[in-house]
């Protein structure tokens, strides 16, 4: 609800309140973006004067198979992570609503702890879980099921799965928490009435619950997609900024880092970063802002 339509009157109070945010936005968001755009059109000179080279960096990316590998990896990683995390979180949130009331809080808390875990600790836990022979995953899951042990961190077929499993472990708890709050906010009487009228559990879920929690699901989706695309710490610590065996774990942010700091080409590094912007922005726009109900909130 808005108060009034101001009639061309400049309100200094409002400007002062809103100005700091937008001023910083210009200095630390718009300026770097602009600088990055300029940089990506210039030659890879480190400190001296650089030449304008137009779209050369973008064109060479087009023919760069490592770049496409990174794009594919990032897309696969994001898709797998988002699907698994949201699926598990939805299940877990439902299970939590069924739990004994007294342990519900502590359990939710426990699930969220991995989300607080620093990336370095993540790298250590990787050793524990994914270690070639003695890792937990091999010892407790793979071997008992009768499979050959998998060298998760150096077998190119499995590196990406290891990164996905880590992301799932890390984010499921937070998303469960968000979804649990959404489930708790459902109107009880509607659900009860539906149950009494003989609507089965599946229909209650798809027809009542799902529409009610869609905004929260969208929020989780945006949060996860952004985090997946910006994922760096995990793979940086594991592979030291490289992509692991035959680039199987190469993600876009680490590729940009590599181009700029290992290859010494700031221009091409900036081009890698910026080449993802339209994709990410377009995707997020489709997911989150086309169903306007979320942000419009009170007005709809």
Which 223-242 positions form the footprint of other proteins (CB under 8 A)?
Answer: 226, 229-230, 232-233, 236-237, 240
Question: Which of 54-62, 64-72, 124-132, 148-156 is the region at the interface with other proteins (rule: CB under 8 A)?
Answer: 124-132
Under rule CB under 8 A, residue 222 binds other proteins: yes
Q: Which of 18, 59, 190, 262 binds other proteins (CB under 8 A)?
A: 18
Among left, alpha and beta (phi > 0; psi -120 to 50; other), residue 198 is left
Does 114 engage in binding with other proteins (CB under 8 A)? Answer: yes
Q: How far apart are CA 251 and CA 73, in angstroms?
A: 6
Find out whether 179 and 220 touch, Cβ atoms under 8 Å: yes
Token digits for 2?
């808005």
The CA angle 146-151-156, to the nearest 5 degrees, is 120
Which residues inside 246-275 make contact with other proteins, applying CB under 8 A? 253, 256-257, 260, 266, 269-270, 273-274
In the set 191, 205, 208, 245, which binds other proteins (CB under 8 A)? Answer: 191
* Total chain residues near other proteins (CB under 8 A): 103
- The smaller minimum CB distance to other proteins, of residues 2 and 49, is found at 2
DSSP H or E segment with residue 275: helix 266-284
For other proteins, the binding residue among 84, 112, 142, 199 (CB under 8 A) is 112
Per CB under 8 A, which region of 8-16, 49-57, 66-74, 155-163 contacts other proteins? 8-16
- Asked if 60 touches other proteins (CB under 8 A), the answer is no
148-163: b or e for each residue (b if 16 or more CB lie within 10 Å)?
eebbbbeeeebbbbbb
In whole angstroms, give the CA distance from residue 262 to residue 200.
59
Q: Is 46 in the site for other proteins (CB under 8 A)?
A: no
Of the candidate residues 70, 89, 107, 153, the single one contacting other proteins (CB under 8 A): 107
DSSP 176-195: HHHHHHHHHTS-HHHHHHHH
Q: Is 141 in the site for other proteins (CB under 8 A)?
A: no
């Amino acid at each position: 609800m808005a108060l009034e339509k101001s009639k061309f009157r400049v309100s200094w109070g409002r400007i002062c309140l809103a100005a700091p945010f937008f001023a910083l936005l210009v200095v630390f968001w718009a300026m770097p973006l602009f600088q990055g755009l300029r940089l990506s059109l210039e030659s890879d000179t480190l400190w001296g004067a650089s030449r304008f080279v137009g779209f050369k960096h973008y064109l060479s990316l087009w023919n760069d198979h490592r770049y496409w590998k990174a794009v594919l990896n990032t897309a696969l990683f994001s898709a797998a992570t988002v699907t698994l995390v949201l699926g598990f979180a939805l299940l877990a949130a439902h299970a939590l609503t069924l739990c004994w009331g007294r342990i519900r809080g502590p359990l939710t808390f426990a699930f969220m702890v991995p989300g607080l875990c620093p990336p370095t600790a993540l790298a250590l836990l990787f050793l524990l879980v994914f270690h070639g022979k003695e890792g937990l995953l091999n010892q407790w899951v793979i071997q008992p099921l009768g499979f050959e042990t998998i060298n998760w961190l150096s077998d190119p077929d499995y590196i990406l799965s290891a990164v996905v499993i880590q992301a799932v472990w890390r984010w499921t708890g937070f998303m469960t928490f968000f979804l649990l709050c959404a489930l708790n906010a459902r109107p009880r009487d509607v659900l009860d009435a539906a149950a009494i009228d003989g609507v089965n559990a599946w229909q209650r879920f798809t027809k009542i619950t799902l529409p009610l929690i869609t905004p929260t699901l969208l929020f989780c989706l945006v949060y996860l997609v952004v985090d997946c695309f910006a994922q760096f710490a995990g793979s940086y610590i594991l592979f030291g900024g490289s992509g692991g065996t035959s680039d199987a774990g190469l993600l876009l942010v680490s590729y940009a880092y590599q181009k700029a700091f290992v290859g010494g080409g700031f221009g091409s590094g900036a081009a890698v970063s910026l080449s993802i912007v339209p994709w990410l922005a377009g995707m997020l726009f489709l997911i989150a802002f086309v169903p306007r109900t979320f942000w419009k909130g009170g007005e709809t």
